[in-house]
Chain A
Amino acid sequence: MYLTKEEEQILNGESGETLRQAIEILVALGDIYGADRLIPIKSSQIAGVSYKTMGDAGLEWISDLQGKVKVPSILNPAGMDLQDWKRLRISPEFAEKQKLIVQAYEKLGIRCECTCTPYNLEGFNVGYGDHLAWSESSAVSYANSVLGARTNREGGPSALSAALLGKTANYGFHLDENRMPEISFDVGYSLKGSDYGALGYVAGKLAGSKVPIFHLRCTPDADELKALGAAMAASGAVALYHVKGVTPEICRMDFEEPTEKITIEKSQLDEVYEGLRKACKEPELITIGCPHCSAAELEKAAELLRGKTVLKEFWIFTSRKLAKLHPEYIKTIEKSGAKVVCDTCMVVSPATNSYSCVMVNSGKALAYVPGMCGAEAVYGSMETCVEEAIGETTKKVAKKAGGSN
């Protein structure tokens, strides 16, 4: 891997231990994956924030680092709402460690907003072809696929190293040849809302780490694309996908159709919804906002909950910034008894661990909640989630087997 004179000096420790270690990480990854050089990045998003996943070791490592990041950098969701952590019964011991982690990042000049949808925030707007070092799998998928930017699935330490250097190694999804579709999915029926999360949950398992191209009979909106990509990044390792006629890269570039073609049947999506009917237990907790709710999703949740009262715990996750920008939606949602929670999500917060069955409208949460939270997860649309929370589902679900949308 070619290094400039300045980069060589950093590797030899002339700019201090933190930068030496940062460039060593990037050079090692570059050598493993055959990068030719380091390239500048526009922004970084750093995973490894929840104390639940990184523990004392992660906290110690970040605390030992010195210096400041060179590009706008932001954090992935933490293990709790940083301001109102008591509401979800987080222990004071956990809260204390979680705050130390965020403070350690803040010291490095990182914006301590904890969100999986940084692309909705000022300073993290992304253009076509921009190089990034993002690490939250759904944000990576959204940046690559929906925005046409370029980032690999960075791990916590590598994204942080890239932020400190303002550079990343030029391999993987930064290169044209790795962005071509490798597997084609044909979906011969119309989809709406949570159907995209269900499709992603099914397609991710089939795609693994390949780049899929979808042939759809309808045009998904931004939130539907977000749900599709997030689910595929969780049930598989998909970091980039194309939708014929929709996503920007496939519209601008001339790609050949892959030889591997798979048709996804309606029954495969119905199976994802079937889990609710077959669940051992009734959902005790209902959650939406994985990835974090957009303004449009908050508005929809507020409309569905307007004038209703929830009978079960109902948590809606979003970024603090969007919650602040839309107090009217938050007010309507909370008036129903549902809670709007910021900085965290049902996957990385220990709060979810105390429930045995969780209902989600996210293919990503469906994939992660069982393993990471030790709870059964069942799937439904946002409408079904609200019905479940206000106690109107039981009679409907039996009738509406597979009830999509």
Chain B
Amino acid sequence: MVLIKLKGRTISRGCARGEVLLSIDPISFLGSVDPKTGVIIEENHALEGKSIQGKVLVFPHGKGSTVGSYVMYQLKKNGVAPSAIINLETEPIVAVGAIISEIPLVDMLERNPYEVLNNGDFVVVNGSKGYIELIKQETNKTECN
């Protein structure tokens, strides 16, 4: 059952699904993430200590060195990359990293993802067609409703 479908802008093609992991902080793939484990290692980062492996990673935008694109490729080769990415607005380092790593990426959704999505929600990101689908909301949230 599809709860919500939101249109966005295609950045990196492909389609993948996974659990939402929200980061209120921007991410620099060079320095913020351990490319071997996919764990966020930047001190005081909103996701410090959490693994991004297989998650639909939601963060506002990237930051830091252009080498970050290659770190994303290393994450993919090591099997610890996020399954898909949603940004508020993608910047070039993350865009290029997602494309060479074949991680679907959509940005500029028609509604603010931080108001619609919660950690643990199950989401499909269709980068080729430029939309996301919220399939199942996190259990607690559903019960509250």
Q: Interface of A with B (CB < 8 Å)?
A: 21, 24-25, 28-29, 31-32, 47-48, 53-58, 60-61, 155-158
Please tell me if the beta carbons of A32 and B100 are within 8 angstroms of each other in the complex.
no
Residues of chain B lying within 8 A (CB to CB) of residue A48: 66-67, 70
Contact B92 A57 (CB under 8 A): no
A56 contact from B69, B74, B92, B99, Cβ within 8 A: B74
A-B contacts besides A55-B67, A57-B70, 14 pairs, CB < 8 Å: A21-B99, A24-B12, A24-B13, A25-B99, A28-B12, A28-B99, A31-B11, A32-B92, A53-B67, A54-B67, A57-B35, A57-B77, A157-B96, A157-B99
12 contacts between A and B (CB under 8 A): A24-B12, A28-B11, A28-B90, A29-B92, A53-B67, A57-B73, A57-B74, A58-B73, A60-B74, A60-B77, A61-B70, A156-B70
CB A86 to nearest CB in B, in angstroms, measures: 27
The interface residues of chain B lying within 8 Å CB-to-CB of A57 are: 35, 70-71, 73-74, 77
Partner of A29, one of B67, B70, B73, B95: B95
Question: Is chain B's interface secondary structure helix, strand, loop, or mixed overall?
Answer: helix
How many Å from the CB of B87 to the closest CB on chain A? 10
Quick check: is B119 within 8 A (CB to CB) of the other chain?
no
> Cβ of B9 < 8 Å from any Cβ of A?
yes
Contact B99 A24 (CB under 8 A): yes
Residue of B nearest to A31 (CB): B9
The residue in chain B whose Cβ has the minimal distance to the Cβ of A152 is: B92
B110 CB within 8 Å of chain A: no
**In contact, B70 and A54 (Cβ under 8 angstroms):** yes
Chain B hits for A55, CB < 8 A: 67, 70, 74
Interchain CB contact under 8 A, A158 and B9: no
4 nearest CB pairs, A to B: A57-B74, A57-B70, A58-B70, A155-B66
Instruction: State the interface size on chain B (CB cutoff 8 A).
Output: 22
Q: Is the CB of A155 within 8 A of B74?
A: no
The answer on a CB contact under 8 Å between B69 and A155 is yes
Which positions 1-54 of chain B face chain A at CB distance < 8 Å? 9-13, 35
Report yes or no: A32 in contact with B73, Cβ–Cβ below 8 A. no
- Check A157 against B69 for contact (C-beta < 8 Å): yes
On whether A61 and B100 interact (CB within 8 A), knowing A28-B11, A55-B74, the answer reads yes
- When the two chains form their complex, are residues A156 and B11 in contact, meaning their CB atoms are under 8 A apart? no
**Residue of A whose beta carbon sits closest to that of B9:** A31
Q: Is the CB of A157 within 8 A of B100?
A: yes
Asked whether A32 lies within 8 Å of B71 as measured between CB atoms, the reply is no
Residues of A close to B93: CB separation below 8 A: 155
* Across-interface contacts of B69 in A (CB, < 8 A): 155-157
- Nearest Cβ in chain B — how far from A372, in angstroms? 10
The chain B residue with its CB closest to the CB of A54 is B70
Chain B residues with CB under 8 A of A53: 67
CA–CA, A157 to B67, complex, Å? 10
Note all chain A residues with C-beta closer than 8 A to B92. Answer: 29, 32, 155, 158
Q: Given that A28-B11, A56-B74, A57-B74 are known contacts, is A158 also in contact with B96, CB under 8 Å in the complex?
A: yes
**What is the CB-to-nearest-CB distance from B66 to chain A, in angstroms, rounded to a whole number?**
4
Measured between beta carbons, the chain B residues less than 8 angstroms from A155 are: 66, 69, 92-93, 96
CA gap between A158 and B94 in the complex, in Å: 12
Rounded to whole angstroms, the CA-CA distance of A25 and B9 in the bound complex is 14
Residue of B nearest to A53 (CB): B67
Name the contact of B10 in the complex, choosing from A31, A56, A58 (C-beta under 8 A).
A31
CB interface residues, B 73-96, toward A, < 8 Å: 73-74, 77, 90-93, 95-96
Q: How far is the CB of A306 from chain B (nearest CB, A)?
A: 41
Q: What separation, in Å, do the CA atoms of A60 and B35 have in the docked complex?
A: 14
A264 CA to B90 CA, complexed, in Å: 36
Q: Tell me the complex Cα distance, A58–B35, Å.
A: 13
Contact B73 A28 (CB under 8 A): no
Q: Which residues of the other chain, A, contact B100 by a CB distance below 8 angstroms?
A: 21, 25, 61, 157
A29, chain B: closest CB distance, angstroms:
6
- A52 to B, closest residue via Cβ: B67
Could you tell me the distance between the alpha carbons of A29 and B100 in the complex, rounded to whole angstroms?
A: 13
Complex: how many Å from CA A21 to CA B73? 13
Residue among A53, A56, A155 with max Cβ neighbours from chain B (10 Å)? A155
Residues of A within 8 A of B99 (CB): 21, 24-25, 28, 157
A31 to B130, CA, bound (A): 13
Closest B residue by C-beta to A161: B96
Cα–Cα, bound, A29→B70 (Å): 17
A61 to B96, CA, bound (A): 12
Nearest-neighbour CB distance to chain A for B11, whole angstroms, equals 5
CB of A61 within 8 A of CB of B73, answer yes
- Contact check: which of B35, B67, B74, B96 meets A28 at CB < 8 Å? B96
Q: How far is the CB of B99 from chain A (nearest CB, A)?
A: 5
> Nearest Cβ in chain A — how far from B102, in angstroms?
8
Contact across chains for B71 and A28 when beta carbons are under 8 A apart: no
Q: In the complex the two chains form, is A28's CB within 8 Å of B95's CB?
A: yes
Taking CB atoms, residues of chain B closer than 8 Å to A58 are 67, 70, 73
Taking CB atoms, residues of chain A closer than 8 Å to B35 are 57
A25 CA to B105 CA in the complex, in Å?
Answer: 12
